Amino acid sequence: MVLVPVLVGVGVLLLGEVILFGLHHLSRHAGGRLRHLAVLLVAVRVGLGRSDWASTETRVEILGWLTTACLLACALVAYSIFDAFFLRRVDGSGEARVPALLRELGRGLVLFATLLAALSAINGVPLSAVVVSSTVLSAVLGLALQDVLKNLFAGISMQLESVPRVGDWLNLDGVVAKVVEMSWRTTRLRTNEGHFLIEPNSRLAELRLTNYGSGAAPVAFAFHVGLAYDTPPATAKAALLAAAASSPGALRDPVPVAMARTYGDSSITYELRVWTREVDALSWFRDGVLSRIWYEVRRAGLDIPFPIRTVHHHDVAGGKAEGERRERARIADLLGRLDLFRGVAPEILAELAAASRKLFFDDGERLVREGEAGDSLFVVDRGRVLVSKAAEDGGTTNVRLAVLESGSFFGEMSLLTGEPRSATITADGGCEVLLLTKADVEPLLAGDPALAETLSRALADRNAATQAAFAARRERRSVTSMIETDHGSILKKVREFFRLQG
171 to 43, 161, 191: CA distances (angstroms) = 54, 18, 10
Least CB distance from residue 362 to ligand CMP, whole Å?
Answer: 19
Query: What sign results for the dihedral spanned by CA atoms 447, 376, 387, 360?
Result: positive
Please pick, from the candidates 270, 285, 410, 498, the single residue that binds ligand CMP as defined by CB under 6 A: 410
**130 is a site residue for ligand CMP (CB under 6 A):** no
Least CB distance from residue 425 to ligand CMP, whole Å?
Answer: 6
Collapsing DSSP to helix, strand or coil, 436 comes out as strand
Under 8 Å between Cβ of 353 and 332: yes
**381 is a site residue for ligand CMP (CB under 6 A):** no
**414 is a site residue for ligand CMP (CB under 6 A):** yes
Please pick, from the candidates 63, 166, 245, 465, the single residue that binds ligand CMP as defined by CB under 6 A: 465
Please pick, from the candidates 249, 336, 374, 430, the single residue that binds ligand CMP as defined by CB under 6 A: 374
Give the amino acid at 361: F
**467 is a site residue for ligand CMP (CB under 6 A):** no
Q: Which residues 55-74 are close enough to bind ligand CMP by CB under 6 A?
A: none
Least CB distance from residue 342 to ligand CMP, whole Å?
Answer: 18
83 to 88, 106, 120, 364, 497: CA distances (angstroms) = 6, 9, 27, 63, 96
Cβ closer to ligand CMP: 307 or 420? 420
**Whole-number Å distance between alpha carbons of 472 and 483:** 15
**Whole-number Å distance between alpha carbons of 153 and 347:** 85
| HEC sequence for 77-144 | HHHHHHHHHHHCCECCCCCECCCHHHHHHHHHHHHHHHHHHHHHHCCCCCHHHHHHHHHHHHHHHHHH
Give 368's strand partners: 425
Binding mask 417-446 for ligand CMP (x = CB under 6 A): ----xxx-x---------------------
Long-range contacts of 69-72 (CB under 8 A, 24+ apart): 69/41, 70/38, 70/41, 70/42, 70/45, 71/114, 71/118, 71/122, 72/111, 72/114, 72/115, 72/118
Cβ closer to ligand CMP: 97 or 369? 369
**Whole-number Å distance between alpha carbons of 167 and 180:** 6
**483 is a site residue for ligand CMP (CB under 6 A):** no
Least CB distance from residue 390 to ligand CMP, whole Å?
Answer: 12
Collapsing DSSP to helix, strand or coil, 491 comes out as helix
Binding mask 191-230 for ligand CMP (x = CB under 6 A): ----------------------------------------
**116 is a site residue for ligand CMP (CB under 6 A):** no
Nearest of 405, 409, 385 to residue 458 by alpha carbon: 409
**361 is a site residue for ligand CMP (CB under 6 A):** no
**Helix-then-strand count for the chain, H and E:** 16, 16
Cβ closer to ligand CMP: 204 or 399? 399
395 to 386, 399, 485: CA distances (angstroms) = 17, 10, 23
Nearest of 11, 9, 118, 119 to residue 53 by alpha carbon: 9
Least CB distance from residue 343 to ligand CMP, whole Å?
Answer: 21
Cβ closer to ligand CMP: 311 or 373? 373
Cβ closer to ligand CMP: 17 or 392? 392
Give the amino acid at 144: A
**80 is a site residue for ligand CMP (CB under 6 A):** no
**Whole-number Å distance between alpha carbons of 257 and 274:** 7
Least CB distance from residue 359 to ligand CMP, whole Å?
Answer: 15
**344 is a site residue for ligand CMP (CB under 6 A):** no
**Whole-number Å distance between alpha carbons of 16 and 269:** 74
Least CB distance from residue 346 to ligand CMP, whole Å?
Answer: 25
Cβ closer to ligand CMP: 142 or 364? 364
Cβ closer to ligand CMP: 287 or 475? 475
Least CB distance from residue 224 to ligand CMP, whole Å?
Answer: 39
Helix (H) or strand (E) holding 470: helix 450-472
Q: Which residues 273-312 are close enough to bind ligand CMP by CB under 6 A?
A: none
Q: With CB under 6 A, what is the number of residues at the site for ligand CMP?
A: 17
Least CB distance from residue 458 to ligand CMP, whole Å?
Answer: 8
**368 is a site residue for ligand CMP (CB under 6 A):** yes
Helix (H) or strand (E) holding 18: helix 3-26
Under 8 Å between Cβ of 470 and 399: yes
**87 is a site residue for ligand CMP (CB under 6 A):** no
Least CB distance from residue 461 to ligand CMP, whole Å?
Answer: 8
Q: Is 401 exposed, middle or buried (0-12, 13-18, 19+ CB in 10 A)?
A: buried
Least CB distance from residue 340 to ligand CMP, whole Å?
Answer: 11
Cβ closer to ligand CMP: 120 or 485? 485
**402 is a site residue for ligand CMP (CB under 6 A):** yes
Q: Which residues form the interface with ligand CMP (CB under 6 A)?
A: 368, 374, 387, 401-402, 410-414, 421-423, 425, 462, 465-466
